[in-house]
Amino acid sequence: MQLIFEKSVPGRRGIRVAEQDVPDSINLNAGLLRETPADLPELSELDVVRHFTALSRRNFSVDSHFYPLGSCTMKYNPKVAERIAGYPGFAHLHPLLPQLRLGGSLTQGALQVMYEMDLLLREITGMAGFTMQPMAGAHGELTGIMIMAAYHRARGNRKTTVLIPDSAHGTNPASAAIAGYTVKSVPSDASGGMDLAKLREMLTDEVAGLMLTCPNTLGLFNPHVSEICELIHSVDGVVYYDGANLNAIMGKTRPGDLGFDIVHLNLHKSFATPHGGGGPGAGPVGVAERLVEFLPVSVVVKREDGTYALEYDRPNSIGYIAPFYGNFAVVLRAYVYILMLGREGIERVAENAVLNANYVLAKLKDLYDVAVDLPCMHECVLSAETLAKDCGVRALDISKGLIDRGFHPPTVYFPLTVHEALMVEPTETESKETLDAFIAAMRELAELAHTNPEALHEAPVSTPVGRLNETKAARDLNIAYTPLCDCGNPLE
């Protein structure tokens, strides 16, 4: 496929703009203007439409392919939510419109959505209050840790340390460090959960809190989670719930009931809103009653007359952590999703997610190593360690082979506690037929590792770009277009 620059024809235009007949209102400094025209491709509208349509057909997306990315919960996004988010009454709002106005309001509906979303998320998680401002999961993590720090400052606690399991998401220690805490890693035990004996040894008055993913990144639910929360509370610590894996338990149990004090949720994971590509996202944060006063401003409240307003008088608030009210359209999509499913539907999400993951695990554990040979929750962690030792075929080779077979690769080399990890999360939205096709591909690749490993070392062969040196690409990034001559060398 030609690059759009290679399709360029000098003088070709897709649009013609009339000559300007209005005087300039701003006199720009001549030094700010280009001396030569920008080196942009010249194409007709048809050329552009066909080019980007062809590019879109080469993309992997949830709408076109199975995306078994572990810990990412890449579920299908229902189009009804997209349609409602596009309603002019929502899409055309400006965040500076007044909350109330004579004869009605343009913003009362949006405020009602945020107010009711707060109530819905409280019910799902067992928290006492939420903020919708955080614009991603990691942003929600940082918000939660800032609330933790504000709580300890208000109580005069001198806390310096946050404890985090060794299998945690990488953003956990980053968020804690940004908030000024020292991070200490709690090792896992033989069953894949947090080592309780080690946790007790590390528990001191300097511990501000613990960040815990439940189920953890091995897809396992820790049966000692309530005891862990009690241990942290015994030193006036705060227990933080990383909501990346909520898909496994939502509707079945609530983090607040387990003992957690702070929860961040990924609306772009658990609640089926757009995900990936750097955004948009939403990472609402909920807190227990004793932490509500520290939530970011502004907070949507319902007045006695039934109208909605933004409340700013929160002297102990950590302040704004995002412009205006976060990614409102993402919150709106999740609101539609939750109302559409209802209580019973939310429960079925978790049940089907867990069923799908265990089905994949049962069908593949005879050919791949298993991190911990126990029933999993919403995701399973396989390993290509034996294939790597016996055949020289690593997790990365299996992933590249999946691309040639029409599947997005699973998460690889995570969690770090598992060698040659292949982390598979099917989500509840995938059918048995899709899972069977994926399982067949994984089994074929495991057999190919023994009979023709070189074929996997060369994969993918069906894509416009083959196997890259990914380390060099990350360290020596070059995304500028350089025209080549017929000999293949860059033109001067």
Quote the pLDDT of residue 105.
78
Q: Check whether 484 has a pLDDT greater than 70.
A: no
State the pLDDT confidence band at 16, using cuts at 50, 70 and 90.
confident
**Mean pLDDT computed over 28-44:** 87
Task: Tell me if 472 is assigned to some domain.
Answer: no
What is the model's pLDDT at position 470?
81
Lowest mean pLDDT among 159-168, 381-390, 418-427, 463-472: 463-472
Give the pLDDT confidence of 70-108 residue by residue, as tens digits: 988 999 999 999 999 999 999 999 888 887 664 457 899
The predicted-structure confidence for 232-281, as pLDDT tens digits, reads as follows 999 999 999 999 999 999 999 999 999 999 999 999 899 988 776 656 78
pLDDT band (50, 70, 90) for residue 139: very high
The reported pLDDT for the residue numbered 442 is 98
What pLDDT score was predicted for residue 170?
84
Q: Tokens 């953003």, residue?
A: 171
Q: Are 74 and 60 in contact (CB under 8 A)?
A: no
- Let me know if residue 400 belongs to a domain: no
For all residues of the chain together, what is the average pLDDT? Answer: 92
Contact 249/212 with Cβ under 8 angstroms?
A: no
What's the pLDDT tens digit per position in 323-342? Answer: 888 899 999 999 999 999 99
d(CA 114, CA 99): 13
* pLDDT tens string 342-351: 999 999 999 9
116 falls within a domain:
yes
pLDDT at 396: 96
Q: Note whether residue 382 is domain-resident.
A: no
Q: Answer yes or no: is pLDDT of 432 > 70.
A: yes
Report yes or no on 461 lying in a domain: no
Mark 49-86 as b/e (b = at least 16 C-beta within 10 Å). eebeeeeeeeeeebeeebbbbbbbbbbebbeebeebbe
Query: Any residues with CB less than 8 A from the CB of 271 and at least 6 apart, and which?
Result: 265, 333, 334, 337, 338
Angle at 256 between CA 151 and CA 302, to 5 degrees: 75
Instruction: Calculate what percentage of the chain has a pLDDT beyond 70.
Output: 96
Look up the pTM and report it: 0.90
Q: Which residue has the higher pLDDT, 233 or 487?
A: 233
Residue range 349-361, pLDDT digits in tens: 999 999 999 999 9
Specify the pLDDT at position 398. 98
Percent of the chain's residues with pLDDT above 90: 75
> What is the CATH classification number for the domain harbouring 139?
3.40.640.10
pLDDT of residue 101: 60
pLDDT classification of 318: cutoffs 50, 70, 90: very high
Mean pLDDT to the nearest integer, 25-43: 84
| Sheet (strand 182-186) strand order | 129-131, 285-287, 262-265, 238-243, 207-213, 161-165, 182-186
- Is 196 contained in some domain? yes
Q: What is the pLDDT of residues 176-227, one digit of tens each?
A: 999 999 999 999 998 888 999 999 999 999 999 999 999 999 999 999 999 9
Model pLDDT, residue 487: 64
User: Is 20 among the domain residues?
Assistant: no
| CB contact set of 296 (below 8 Å; sequence gap of 6+) | 131, 133, 143, 317, 318, 319, 320, 321, 322
Residue range(s) defining the domain that contains residue 150: 81-340
Tens of pLDDT, residues 153-170: 999 999 999 999 998 888
Task: Note the pLDDT of residue 287.
Answer: 98
CA distance 46 to 463: 25
Give pLDDT, residue 278: 57
State pLDDT tens for residues 278-310.
567 899 999 999 999 999 999 999 999 999 999
pLDDT at residue 345, rounded to an integer: 97
In the chain, the number of structural domains is 1
**Band of residue 492 on the pLDDT scale cut at 50, 70, 90:** low
Mean pLDDT of 315-320: 96
Residue 313 lies in a domain: yes
